[in-house]
Amino acid sequence: MSECADLSRTRLAARRARVCAALAALVAAACSTKRDQPLASDAPVAVREAAQPRPAARLWTRSFLEKTVLSAGEVEIEGPELLRERLALRRDEFNHEHTERAVDDGYRIESRQRDDSDGSPIRAQLDELVIDAYERITVRIRPQAERVVLRASGEVFVFVVATGRETRSATLTLVGELDTPLGP
């Protein structure tokens, strides 16, 4: 038993010696290699960060940040790609038909009442604007859009929560310019 233990210790020591010799050779080769070009890691941190391309600032509108409720027959919302992240559209498969498809100038999402619907509203939320539509909500995402446009028609009712102000009209158009940079 003792001879086996001595034999395995000897093999282990020999293996360690080979590994150490290989590592020493690699370190020596790395230290003696000439570099014609300085490495990026040789530059100060500030220089490296400045050299990296920064992503373009994503802009959004502040127009829908006030807690408001909008109710209308039909609502159309049009805006840039960021609209996908800022808009939540509730899906109710029992009462509403939902379609999504690519179109020539972007992407179109539509929810409309089914013929056999119980009349429950189609609900959406855009930032702090809560939307109830009783016939249809159409969303058009256009990558080149420079503003967010919301059009409502059919007995439009708007209630601003903070002030208690109510507005009723046949149609309404809200335009939000993309003027506020969002964080990374």
Residues of the chain with pLDDT under 50: 26, 33
Q: Which of 121, 179, 180 is nearest to 152 (CA)?
A: 121
Q: How far is CA 26 from CA 16, 29, 33, 141, in A?
A: 15, 5, 11, 55
pLDDT value for 56: 66
Note whether 91 and 179 are within 8 A (CB). no
pLDDT at res. 112: 96
Listed by start position, the domains of the chain span 1-34, 59-181
Can you read off the two tokens belonging to residue 84?
């996908």
C-alpha–C-alpha distance, residues 138 and 152, integer Å: 10
Q: Say how far apart CA 148 and CA 64 lie, in whole Å.
A: 10
Whole-number pLDDT of residue 179: 87
pLDDT of residue 22: 52
